[in-house]
A and B are shown apart, each in its own frame.
Chain A
Amino acid sequence: MSVHTWLTDTPLEVADVLARVGTHEDGAVALFLGTVRRSNAGRDVVGMRYDAYLPMAERVLAAIAAEALERMGEGSVAAAHRVGEVPLGGASVAIAVASPHRAEAFDACRYVIEEIKVRLPVWKLERYTDGTEAWLGGAPPPAPEPAETAS
């Protein structure tokens, strides 16, 4: 049982997350990469810049991965997210989940990316071929948990 999460300003490789999951008890490793695609809302994209509220993003990403592991009950989770410039085709997020069985691995991997999309305090500035750029509207961050408002 292990969780490894981080944000980084250097290019993400599949091996970075794969190396941090899996034991001889596992029979499945699910891997997800999010990549920068060419076309978004009809405009040609040359790259993205990811900005993060870094200390909070590190905490939230660790919490998401811990929740994924809890859903599985056994196995391991690694998740890394980029900050800074990511070119077209580059990976913005990499997730690896190892589990004794594939269903749990796929489920946990899906959980991590879906929660990242709605909870991780990260923003992207999309750059276009015509030299313009725009902050992408994303998901409204979630309502706080009651326990988190008490402080």
Chain B
Amino acid sequence: MAPFEPKLSRKTRRVRQRHLKMQAAERILMDPDSDVVGLVANGDMTGALRRLMERYGTPLYRYCREALRDATLADDVQQQVFIEAHRDLSKFTGLSTLRTWLFAIARHRVLDAAKSRRRVQAHIEPGDAISVPDPRRSPDELIDDQRILEALVGCLDQLPDKVRTVLLLRFQQGFTFEELAQICGEKPGTLQAKVTRALPLLRACIENRTGGSL
């Protein structure tokens, strides 16, 4: 049942709306990309796009690449994200930072691309390869960072797309859970729980793949 919400008078609604607008304006001023917002306000959309590409082109590409594990697809998605950003920049309301907004677009496009690819691959590939422990190492031996990285790539692939994107946004891109909540449209606590559950799974998978212990 929906919680009871008192009916607000027109004046109260107006005051609340004004307050929200002021909050959004304050957020824009505090946004490290407020200069980009300024360019948008002056109608210089191309200038704003150039700055966004300069700042976030590489991190966004890396996120797409690791989330999709496909260089060509990542390239397409990354470009698509900036094209969409250019189209919608004038509608940016300042409810989040520009970086968060940009990665929210990226997350949607990545999930769409992963979904389309899965649909195609379902007709081609018989299934995931079974991970086999590396026989060269004893279980007690400590795994070096490079081997963790190599195993991690394969283990991330085994996670659901949504969990994988959350892990990448949290650790690769360094978003806080509050920012993640804005990107994913979920509560920070829910996302934190997802991450907390996924990390031990990754650990088990990495140890299984490498045959060592972390």
Q: Do chains A and B stick together as partners?
A: no
